[in-house]
Amino acid sequence: MTIIPAIDIIEGNCVRLEQGDYSKISLYNKYPFEVAQQFEDAGLKRLHLVDLDGAKAGSVRNWKVLETLARKTSLIIDFGGGIKNEKDVQIVFDSGAAMATIGSIATENETEFLNWVKKYGPEKFFLGADTKNEKIAIHGWQKITGIDLYDFIQKYSVQKINDIFCTDVSKDGKLQGPAIDLYKKIMRKFPELNLVASGGISSVPNLEDLQKAGCSGAIIGKAIYENKISLKELELFQSNT
């Protein structure tokens, strides 16, 4: 199972929000490169980089941070936040991202998104299936749609998009454990999916449970920054999986 540490960016700083609430910001480091370097030094290979300014503005903002991290580390970076048109997609790839992280637009403008998939290939996209009560949540989780989570995954798995991360909104930022039962249910329905868990992860046993549930990866943010899981523990877990 792949450990994917997360860096969320506001005004160039490494921060975390609780449940997507911009009024609940924790500042962790003014220098995202230092954080990314620590992840790389711990033997981690991936990075989930989120442009929170871009997500709020509706267009990519912190591409310079992406460019720096892509140039100065060997981390495989997926980047999201504010990707609303093909110009944004091109900026993300030109700035060094291996994958573009896609959220709301896959719900609100399916035609546009599928045009990108056709042009760049499905393997270039990391699709977010954020959910509350098994309904898709969009716009930083501020809007809960009526779209069924499993219908959403099915629609895009048919398009060969198999790299999906799923956040149970009710779990995010609380460090009270991930939505194991939800992930088990998803994997029963879509056994070929590369499912990455996100939200609530606070311990190595959580990671072991996710692995048993069939998840291929886990995004970890707050647990690292709040010292609930050490980079040494993650390095050891990663080397044993």
Task: Please report the DSSP string for 10-35 in residue order.
Answer: ETTEEEEEETTEEEEEEEEES-HHHH
For 105, 139, 161, the CA distances from 225, given in Å and listed in that order, are: 29, 24, 31
Burial 101-131 (b: 16+ CB within 10 A, else e): bbbbbbbeeeeebbebbeebebebbbbbbbb
Contacts of 225 (CB under 8 A, 6+ apart): 16, 26, 28
Catalytic option among 51, 78, 88, 130: 130
Q: What does the alpha-carbon distance between residue 187 and residue 104 come to, in Å, rounded to a whole number?
A: 23
88 has catalytic annotation: no
Q: Are strands 125-128 and 163-167 parallel, antiparallel or unpaired?
A: parallel
The pair of three-digit structure tokens given for residue 129, joined into one six-digit string: 């299936």
Q: By the 8 A CB rule, do 113 and 102 touch?
A: yes
168 has catalytic annotation: no
Interaxial angle between packed helices 63-72 and 32-41, expressed in degrees from 0 to 180 and rounded to the nearest 10: 30
Q: What does the alpha-carbon distance between residue 164 and residue 166 come to, in Å, rounded to a whole number?
A: 7
What residues act catalytically? 8, 130
